[in-house]
Structure formats: structure tokens, C-alpha cells
Structure 1
Amino acid sequence: MAKTRIGVNGLIPNSELQNLDLIDLLSERHSMLRRIAEKAWNDQSEIYISNSEWYIMARIYNKRPTISYVTKNVNISRQAIHKFIKILSTKGLVEINNVENNKKEKCVQLTALGEECYERNMKLKAQLENKIAEKIGIDRVTILNDLLKLDWGIE
């Protein structure tokens, strides 16, 4: 396998993407998009939110899941999820409440500020998607979206 060079910004130069297989290509593009989205948010907001925090916020947006549900449905360690939820709570983005009729369980939901931030971030991601569509074409973005949503039968 060819040796891969990493650029100064942590990204593989576009010319070297040609040598990657599907799994590595998906990983590189995902990492690049996450970095760009995180930077876009953090450049325009005083509230720093990491990609892991966005990931958790996406799982609880418009819901009131239990923390144990979040830990089972987010691909981050249980300890890290608890840490991130505590950080999000400190930032005023989520609130943690007791579950009715269950003294052990806690549920989590976005605060009004958390929802506002999440919705503003969704607009920033839509702008990024539009930039991609301008570059590669709306038809290709639609096809890519459709392909990624298909059941790949590999789980």
C-alpha cells in the first residue's frame, strides 16, 4: 500500500485521495467535513461546541431520552458521554432531569439555548452542503445522500 502524506492542516492532499479505498475515503471526507463544520460554528459563536458534543446534541434534539439510551445509541464510551453531558449542562445547552417513577434513571434534553445553537448549526451545515453541491453538482449530492441512506446489508 502506498504511504499517505498528511498536509499541514491535517488533511490528505486531494491528489492523494485517489489512492484510498472506499472506507478510507469515507473516513477522510467525514473528518474533513466535521473539522470544517466545527470551525464554522466556533468562528461565529462564543460557545465552543466540539464534534462529540454536537453528536450527542443530535441524538437528543427534540427528544427527552434517558442518559442510558444515549450511551447505547452514541458510539462514544459511557464515561465520555457522561462527561460531555456534564459539560453541555455547564454551558447551559442541556438539562438533566429525573425520570418519573424511576429513581435511578435521568433524562436529558436540550435547553432553549441548546435548541437555538443546534438549529443555527444545522443552517451552517446546510450552507456547507450547498457549497459542495455548487462544486460537484446538486444531482451528485442527491445521489450521494441516497446511497448513504440505503441499507448496505453489512451490519
Structure 2
Amino acid sequence: MNSELKTLDLIDLISERHLQLRSIAEGEWNEESDIHISNSEWFIMARIYKKNPSVSQVTRRVDISRQAVHKFAKGLQAKGLVEITDSRHNKRDKCLMLTQLGKECYEKNLLLKKDLEMKIAEEIGLDTLNTLKRILVSNWGIREY
């Protein structure tokens, strides 16, 4: 391993690439759509796609407060992307579900991200991309918070 790689911090490298990719993905979405959707809103939509979770369930799966999840859900509802209903099991909790428009936007965004992934594969090679994906999903022996 060369000395330059040894001095680079893994966490910062992953974070910087993540921010770069999210920025590109958000920019491409905003170029093609009249509906602005922030990265945090995409994150919430990903947690409810093809599901009908409660706000509490979403909160447990993301690293933001219950109040923030509720605020994002209200914003998504105002855009016509999410439907908020009362929970059958807890009267104080609300359930979230993508509307048809929300599903269409989410699936269109998946295609945009797939295109970005293919551009990356063209640059670094498909084998390298697949190796990176295997590394990212593998067990790193670290605990979750």
C-alpha cells in the first residue's frame, strides 16, 4: 500500500464520496423534476417505499428525531408524495405510505441513481464497482449505534 493511501482517513473518504454522490443525485433529480425533494426526504421515502410503517418505526431506522421525521413527513404530504394516517395499534402514532406520485418519483429516482452507478462503473470498471459494493455490505466487525 503506498504511503499516500495510508494517510487518508477511511471515514472522511466515505463521507466525502457520499456527500458528492448525494449532491449529484439530488441535482439530477432537480434538473428533471418540478418537485424538489431533499436528501433527508429521499431518506424517509426509502424507509417507507413498499411499506406502511409508523413514524416511530421510521424514527428507529434513521438517525433523526421523531419530530424531524414528522416534519419531513408533513412536507412530503404537502407535496403529494406521502399519505399520513392514524395507526391502528397506537392512537398517538401515525403511519406513512407513499402516494402513487410518491412511488413514481421514488422509482424514477432509482433509475437516475442506476444511471449514475453505470457512469461510475464505466470510469472505475464493473468488477471494481462490484467489489466496492461487496465491501460496503460486508460485516466489518463494528457495532451499530
* Residues 101 and 18 of structure 1: CA distance in aligned 2, closer, same or farther (over 3 Å): closer
With 70-79 and 29-38 compared, the bigger mean Cα shift is at 70-79
CA distance in 1, matches of 2:16, 2:7: 12
Question: Counterpart of 1:28 in structure 2: which amino acid?
Answer: E
Question: Counterpart of 2:8 in structure 1: which amino acid?
Answer: L
Among 58, 61, 67, the residue aligned to 1:73: 61
Shift of 1:100: 1.9
CA distance in 2, matches of 1:19, 1:118: 38
1:154 lines up with 2:138 in the alignment: no
CA distance in 1, matches of 2:33, 2:56: 30
TM-score w.r.t. the length of structure 1 is 0.86
Q: Which residue of 2 aligns with 1:94?
A: 82
1:116 lines up with 2:116 in the alignment: no
Does the Cα contact within 8 Å between 2:81 and 2:99 map onto a contact in 1?
yes
Question: Counterpart of 2:69 in structure 1: which amino acid?
Answer: I
* Unmatched segments (≥5 aa) in structure 2: none
Task: Give 1:18-97 correspondences, 5 Å limit.
Answer: 20-97=8-85
Count of paired positions: 140
More helix by share: 2
* Unmatched segments (≥5 aa) in structure 1: 1-15
Q: Aligned-residue CA RMSD in angstroms? A: 1.6
* Residues 124 and 134 of structure 1: CA distance in aligned 2, closer, same or farther (over 3 Å): same
2:97 match: secondary structure: strand
Does the Cα contact within 8 Å between 2:48 and 2:96 map onto a contact in 1?
yes
With 101-110 and 49-58 compared, the bigger mean Cα shift is at 101-110
Which contiguous aligned blocks of 4+ residues in structure 1 show a shift greater than 3 angstroms? Answer: 16-19
Q: Which residue of 2 aligns with 1:142?
A: 130
- 1:65-114 per-position Cα deviation (integer Å, ceiling 9, x unaligned): 00111111111222221111100000000001112243222110100000
